[in-house]
Amino acid sequence: MVRIRVIHASKLLAVCAAIALAVALAALIFRSAGGARAAQGPEKAAVQAAFSFLRPPPMEFELSGENEHTDSALWVAPPSLGADAETPRAARPRVLIYHTHTHEAYAQTPDDPYEETEPWRTEDQTRSVVRVGAELAALLEARGFDVVHDATDHEYPQLNTAYARSLDTLAGYADQSFDLRIDLHRDAWDSSMAACTEINGRRAAQLMLLVGDGGDYAVKPDYEANLAFAARLTERLNALSEGLCRPVLVKHGRYNQHMGTPSVLIEAGHNLNTLEEALAAMPCLADALDSLLRAP
């Protein structure tokens, strides 16, 4: 399910149309009064320019629902991007995991049902993407990381303002230092995606990293650093299990990634995956993060 809000109103289009019609009418009057050349040369160009305002302007969309990654994507980063860059390492890396879309859930199975708030969404954090975040946190802690897993519900009272509330959550950690901030999501399936992949013969959900270029915000993230980190993490994941991670996707927005560097949005599977398939991908994600962030 995708919720799209059109930001630009139609009033400007109506005003432009009125102006265009007035200019065109003036040109026709001039021509009928004997200006045989009124529609030639500069005059014709002026009329055409006036009528160009009648074409619908490009619309600006704010994605507030599931498919934030696929709609209005700018480009897909090549796998080799950031391969030569280095990530600072720490003896005990600090990682913050949170969930802007806290209710995102997976396909139900007969032996693991849950109460839906709407299709593929639940407030039950043992069945949602929050459970996947808890698994990743535990795996990283077992590898020597210091992890904060913030399970604050950012969807209430309205999904399309969830990013404003997750920004408030991040602001609450402004005085703390982290080596990585992860906004962990569950993707929405489309026909370009595989149903799942396999890790050591076990069905597992694919992963994908998303980075925002800062969009039209005055305060922007360190886009280049975030993108380089995402590309390196993607490369490590696919080295551990071929096909586990799809290419990094770049979007025109900031996704609260201006609150610290590196920051990434990670999609853990899609809505046709099961919770178990999403959980099965977490050990590889923990191993890849360990190889990038923790000092040997």
Amino acid at 264: V
Residue 160 has φ and ψ, to the nearest 5°, of -75, 0
Q: Are residues 37 and 129 in the same domain?
A: no
Sign of CA dihedral 123, 127, 132, 137: positive
Shared domain check, 216 and 76: yes
pTM for this structure? 0.76
60 found inside a domain: no
User: Do 41 and 85 lie in a common domain?
Assistant: no
Between β-strands 263-270 and 249-251, what pairing exists: parallel, antiparallel or unpaired? unpaired
Cα radius of gyration rounded to whole Å, the chain: 24
What is the tens place of the pLDDT at every residue in 117-165?
999 999 999 999 999 999 999 999 999 999 999 999 999 999 999 999 9
Task: Judge if 96 and 181 occupy the same domain.
Answer: yes
Kind and range of the H or E run holding 44: helix 41-52
In which domain, by residue range, is 236 found?
A: 67-293
Dump pLDDT digits (tens) for 162-210: 999 999 999 999 999 999 999 999 999 998 898 999 999 999 999 999 9
Same-domain check for residues 211 and 266: yes
209 neighbors 79 (Cβ within 8 angstroms): no
